[in-house]
Amino acid sequence: MPDYTAVPCARQRAHHAEGPVWDHTRDELVWVDIYEGLIHRAAWEDGELHVTHTHAAGQAVGAVVPCADPGDGWIVATEFGFSRLHPDGTFTAVAEPERGHRPPTRMNDGKCDPLGRFWAGSMANDRTPGAGTLHCLSADVSRPAIHGVTISNGLAWTAPDAFLYIDTPAQCVERVRVGADGRVASRGVAFEIAPELGAPDGMTIDEAGGLWIAMWGTGTVLRFTQDGEVTARVTVPARQVSSCCFGGPDLRTLFITTSQENYTARQSAAEPNAGLLFAADVCVRGRPADLYVPGGST
């Protein structure tokens, strides 16, 4: 089984880095620092990420994806729902389906589908089981897709009408099918993940259909087949691995985010890699990220 080692590739240290996505329209990596409410954009040059812009949302941000037309900016999963980050750095609220939710919730991970819709889920601030919802934002209209989620995390689209999905505490990857209207038609367990491998968090997919899953708490990213066989491992010198994506001009670099969430000052000092971004050259190419289409299908 191939075993790779990731190396630090950015100087910025986050509190809780998440949601990396390679923006092929601008040739840059974009990611978030959730609790700091920051969105970073960086150029990839000579094996290092050079941050060119940092945007402060003024609230928690769970994920960000570029719009298909660069002039439309980015769509962001903000604390209560969705916002548009405009090219001039300003934010506009689009939809807030989680505002006023009890118990209080915030948006977490998200990705676009091949039709240009943005899917992102929520979780309770106190992690109340089942308090979260996976939402679908289509043409700037938000609809709930899956209720009863605890920690909505990784998504990977396998077809325009099918995706794989992680609700972290369930220790499994679900297979979900959706109808033409974006509503869930069916869902079931694709495969289970043994707890000793770690807690599944963010996820990306390669051109061969392999799933690269960040395993929180273990300092690893594992490649799974869609039947659940582990076929490759990336070792990351930081325990709390949160997400990953393929990027770079040839989509052969695996970018990995990490976190120092819930660390004491002593733990943070003892683990200086926690919160850094890492990169690993791996055996396969990734798939280009799907981008948001504001006027997409409803």
Annotated binding site for substrate: 106, 108, 126
SS3 270: helix
**CB-based burial label for 102 (10 Å; 0-12, 13-18, 19+):** exposed
Active site residue 113: no
CB 279 within 8 A of CB 255: yes
Residues comprising the binding site? 18, 106, 108, 126, 153, 201
Among the listed residues 189, 196, 232, 227, the one whose alpha carbon sits nearest the alpha carbon of residue 213: 232
CB 74 within 8 A of CB 67: yes
Percentage helix, strand, coil for the chain under 3-state DSSP, each rounded to 5: 5, 55, 40
Residues comprising the binding site for a divalent metal cation? 18, 153, 201
Name the active-site residue from 23, 72, 109, 201.
201
Token pair 């660390």 is found at 263
The span from the CA of 142 to the CA of 292, in Å, is 13
Looking at the annotation, which residues are catalytic? 201
